[in-house]
Structure 1
Amino acid sequence: MNLCIDIGNTRTKAGLFSNGELVRVITLKKELITQTVKDLNPKKIIFSSVSSETEPLVKSVSEVAPVWTLHHAMPLPFRIAYKTPETLGVDRIAGVAGARHLTDKPALVIDIGTCVTYDIVDAEGTYHGGSISPGLRMRLRAMNHFTERLPLIETGDRVPLTGSTTEDALRSGATHGLRLEIEGIIREYRKKFRDLAVILCGGDSEFFELETESPVMVKPELVLIGLNSILSHNVEANV
C-alpha cells in the first residue's frame, strides 16, 4: 500500500493506493497525520505540502515506512520547462503528474481551490507553466476587505446571473466571473493544442458546470493520483 499525503492551504487529504488504484481518501487534521500513518501502516509514503515546516512530521512517520517529500528536483514522470522551478508549487507538480497518468494527450489542469491554477503539459510530457488567479472565496473576501459597505458572504448553489440583492450580486459576480474566466482560458488553450484534455480538480471543481465545446474531466483527487504516480516513478528509479 502507498500512502499519499497532500497538505494544502485549507485542508489535508491522504490517499491510500493498492496496486496503483485509489482505494480510500481521508480528510484529516495535521496533528492526526502521524497517528493515521501508524494506523494504516503503509509500505511507502509521499508528502506534498505547501508549508515548509514538514521535517518533524516526515521524521515522525519515517519509522513506519520509507518517506519521499515532493520537490521540483526529484525524478518526475514529465519534464519541467518552467523558468523558475524552485518557485513552482508542489500541488501544481502533482496535478500535472496526475494528468500525465490519466492521458498522453496535451492536458490543461485547472485546480480550483483557494487560488485557481492553470497548468499546461504537452503530448511529449513537457510542462510549460500556466497561470494563477484568485479562487471563489478569495474573490468574495476581497470585495468585502477592500470596500466599506459590501458584506462578507458565503458561496451558494444555483447562483443567478442577475442578482436581485447585494448578496446575490456579489455571488453572481464572483461565481460567473470565475466560470467565464475558466471557459475563456480553455478556449484559448484549445487554439494552441489539438486534442487538448481538460482536467478539473480541487475543492471547488465540482461546483462549476462549464459550457465548453468538448467534455471536461472532473477529478477531485487528481493531486493524490499524481503523488502516487511520482512515488511509483521514484521507486522504479531506485531513489
Structure 2
Amino acid sequence: MPNKPKKSRNIAIGAGVAVAAVLLGVASYTATKPAESSNGGTVKEEAAGAAPSTESQAGVYPELEKLARRDAEDPLAQGRADAPVVMVEYADFKCGFCGKFARDTEPGLVKKYVEDGTLRIEWRNFPIFGEDSERAARAAWAAGRQGRFWQFHEAAYADGSKEKGFGDDRLKELAEDAGVKDVGRFVTDAGSDAAKSAVKKDQEEAYGLGAAATPSFVINGRPISGAQPDQVFHQAIESAAKSAKPAGKKGGGSE
C-alpha cells in the first residue's frame, strides 16, 4: 500500500466532511491491509479481494456530494450532467485493481446506468505510483483535449498494458490506439503546465478526502473504497437514485 499522504497535501473540503474523510481513509486502509492467510503467513487483501468495508457503506455525507462537478463540457466524464447519480472515481493507470474495475465492472455500469441517464461517471486522476503514473495521468488528460479520454482509458487499462510501462513512446502508441488524431498536439498538451495543474487539482482533492489507495469512489456522497464486487456498486447507485433530488442542469448530454 502506498504511503499515507502528508498533512501538507490535505485540503479543506468544507464543514461536516471530516468524518467522511476519515471513513474513506479507513476504508482505503482496510481494503489493502495485510491479513493472516490460512497457512499462518500474510496475504495482501487488496481492493478487489477485500469484502466491502462496513465504514465505507455506512452512510451518505451531503458535503461529499459537492465533489460532483457536473460540467457538461468535461471530457473526463461520461453521462448526463443532470443525472440523478454521480460516481466520482479516483484512480491511477498503474493500479492493477483500477484496471480490474475498468475492465470487469465499469462497462456494465455504463450499459445499465449511464446509457439510461441514471448515472454520470466523473474521473479524477489520482497518480500515486510514481512518475509513470504521473505521465499516464497527464497523457489521459491530453487525450481528453481531443475528445478521446475514454478511448485512452480503455487502451491504458487493457489487460497487460500497464506491464509495458508508460514511457513517452508507449503513451504515443496508446494515443494512436485511442484514435487521437493529432499526436503532436497530444505530446505538447501532455507536457504542458495546464496538464500538470489539472492532475494536481484532482490529486489534491483525493488526498484531502483521506484517500490512501486506489481505486476510491464517492457515489452521491457515499464513499466506497476498492474494486468491490459489482453488486456493491449496483446497490449504491440504485439507493442513490431512489433518494436523489433533481439536479440543476448545466447543459445536458454525455461525452
Using the size of structure 2 for normalisation, the TM-score is 0.28
Higher strand share: 1
Q: Which has the higher contact order (CA 8 A, sep 6+)?
A: 2
Using the size of structure 1 for normalisation, the TM-score is 0.30
Higher helix share: 2
